[in-house]
Amino acid sequence: MILGSHVKMTADLYLEGSVKEALSYEANAMMIYTGAPQNTKRIPVERLHIQEAHQLMQEHGISPEHLIIHAPYIINPANSVKPEVAELAVEFLQMEIQRTKAIGSKYIVLHPGSYTTTDIETGIRTIISQLNSIRDIPDGIMICLETMAGKGSEVGYRFEQLAEIYEGLELKEHYAVCFDTCHTHDAGYDLTDLDSVLDEFDHYLGMDKMKVIHLNDSKNIRGARKDRHANLGQGMIGFDTLYNVCTHPRLEEIPKILETPYIDGKPPYKEEIEMLKNGV
């Protein structure tokens, strides 16, 4: 099981602290934001304790491929109403891609964005042209477009939409997909029939494109398009279905990352990881 959670990256230890947090949950994977997800303030990579972090990962048998980056959600590559916002987003994403490389990570998860006041087709076209304007992606780095819940004007809540984006991308070898269980459930996919959902994913995108899984329960019923994460077994997806995602042979090699909410201000990840390891 390649299993972990979102972890913090804060002073003084930064990335080294992130790895320590993951280890305290007995995780062998983790995901970080390179700074606050709501803004673009970033600490220089020289101060992130990158070597120490990798040393620690190596000691505990954690592969650098299982250290995943999430781009901040202020980035909206689907915004064609305010081109200056989209341009800033792409500039910042360029920097995040370089930071992903410097951190020694491989996968950076990105929300495709929201089309705001236009329409889904315009949104898709805008995403394609924005991403195609990024020419400098280091070898081995992959941008993982996340399956969205379809809240508001979000793009990418159907596999067809992600496939359409992918088709338009020029540097295809640098793009993949992050499958979020809360989001796909909210978008209407029936995860209790996981094989059919995976067949559909395979049909539109190819299973080899799925590189990261976000494992979350959902506060809402299937198809609600709300995007409110719940703790494992506390939502409308339920533990058994999420356990099936976690242990399914077709998904074995893919790192699974919990983004479930804190409980009384405390991270629930140690307990939730244990639940998944024990199957109860």
Using CA atoms, how far apart are residues 276 and 216, in angstroms rounded to an integer? 12
| Sole binder of Zn ion in the list 16, 21, 96, 227 (CB under 5 A) | 227
Instruction: Using the rule CB under 5 A, give the single segment among 34-42, 112-120, 221-229, 242-250 that binds Zn ion.
Output: 221-229
User: Can you list the alpha helix ranges (DSSP code H) found in the chain?
Assistant: 15-24, 50-59, 83-103, 120-132, 159-168, 181-187, 194-204, 239-247, 269-278
| Sole binder of Fe ion in the list 16, 164, 180, 272 (CB under 5 A) | 180
Instruction: Using the rule CB under 5 A, give the single segment among 57-65, 152-160, 219-227, 238-246 that binds Zn ion.
Output: 219-227
By the rule CB under 5 A, 256 interacts with Fe ion: no
| Sole binder of Fe ion in the list 214, 239, 269, 272 (CB under 5 A) | 214
Residue in 240, 139, 133 with CA at minimum distance from that of residue 181: 240
Residue number closest to Fe ion, CB atom: 214
Using CA atoms, how far apart are residues 104 and 141, in angstroms rounded to an integer? 10
Instruction: Using the rule CB under 5 A, give the single segment among 66-74, 162-170, 226-234, 264-272 that binds Zn ion.
Output: 226-234
The interface partner of residue 214, options being Fe ion, Zn ion, none and the CB cut-off 5 to 8 Å by kind, is Fe ion
Torsion of CA 192, 196, 200, 205, to 10 degrees: 80
130 vs 181, which CB is nearer to Fe ion?
181
**Cβ atoms within 10 Å, residue 54:** 18
* Secondary structure tally for the chain: helices H, strands E: 9, 10
For the bound state, the minimum distance from the C-beta of residue 181 to Fe ion, rounded and expressed in Å, comes to 9
User: Do 140 and 64 meet the contact criterion of CB atoms below 8 Å apart?
Assistant: no
**Which stretches of the chain bind Fe ion, using CB under 5 A?**
146, 180, 214
Chain positions contacting Zn ion, by CB under 5 A: 227
